[in-house]
């Protein structure tokens, strides 16, 4: 049994230390509650898979502190950059070709990584204090509805994770997920707050 600590935004420094040590911390995003672990810790990743009851062949989203970091983990074409400039930070996950040096459990052999940059300042500050990206799925068991509050997250994962940052989520709808292939095709993987039509229209305007 793990002691689950309750944090506010004033405790971001403490939450960051827990994450750096390999702990799991839940926090609100502009969409739903998320669970985070540092991306380069295999033991933390394995714990996250276990408590999520996640299929072992389904990668987690990589959340970065800012858009400037994306090129360190994925290949960014001109079209992808145009979409990033227009919609990130925000409720959009972009699946891009992964660079070769990322840990194998991040892309799980798919050759692609889903990148997310939140527009919540407190969450950006948390990531800056951690000093590296987090793997962040929604706070739920696989195939169940995501948690929309700290209380709901505690009910689900109390005793299994190290901490929950209490706060308000945004719209309550998970982020839109698109994939931009090596041939610059834009594919909708999950509908969300930003429509595919808006994304395609913006990329065509920029290029």
Mean pLDDT, the chain, rounded, equals 94
- CATH number of the domain within which 157 lies: 3.90.870.10
Reading the block at residue 43, the tokens are 């033991």
> Domain of 41?
5-75+103-174
Helix (H) or strand (E) holding 197: helix 196-206
Read off φ and ψ for residue 91, nearest 5 degrees.
-80, 55
The answer to the question of residue 164 being in a domain is: yes
- The whole-model pTM stands at 0.94
In a domain, 167, yes or no: yes
pLDDT of residue 122: 94
Mean pLDDT by 10 residues, the chain (207 residues): 94 98 97 97 97 90 97 96 96 96 95 96 97 97 94 97 94 92 95 93 63
Instruction: Please report whether residue 46 resides in a domain.
Output: yes
Question: Number of structural domains, the chain?
Answer: 1
Could you tell me if residue 204 is inside a domain? Answer: no
Tell me if 141 is assigned to some domain.
yes
Q: How many CB atoms lie within 10 A of CB 135?
A: 25
- pLDDT tens for 45-93 read 999 999 999 987 889 999 999 999 999 999 999 999 999 999 999 999 9
> Is residue 166 one of the residues assigned to a domain?
yes
């Amino acid at each position: 049994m793990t002691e689950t600590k309750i944090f506010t935004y004033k405790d971001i420094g403490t939450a960051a230390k827990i994450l750096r040590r390999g702990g799991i911390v839940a926090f609100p995003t502009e969409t739903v509650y998320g669970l985070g672990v540092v991306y380069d810790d295999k033991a933390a990743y394995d714990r996250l898979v276990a408590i999520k009851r996640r299929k072992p062949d389904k990668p987690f989203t990589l959340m970065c502190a800012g858009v400037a970091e994306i090129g360190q983990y994925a290949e960014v074409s001109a079209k992808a950059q145009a979409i990033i400039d227009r919609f990130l930070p925000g409720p959009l996950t972009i699946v891009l070709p992964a660079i070769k040096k990322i840990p194998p459990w991040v892309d799980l052999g798919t050759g692609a990584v889903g990148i997310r940059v939140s527009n919540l300042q407190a969450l950006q500050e948390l990531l800056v204090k951690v000093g590296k990206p987090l793997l962040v799925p929604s706070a739920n068991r696989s195939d169940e509805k995501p948690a929309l509050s700290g209380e709901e997250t505690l009910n689900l994962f109390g005793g299994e994770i190290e901490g929950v940052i209490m706060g308000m989520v945004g719209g309550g709808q998970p982020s839109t997920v698109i994939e931009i292939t090596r041939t610059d095709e834009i594919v909708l993987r999950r509908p969300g707050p930003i429509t595919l039509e808006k994304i395609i229209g913006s990329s065509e305007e920029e290029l």
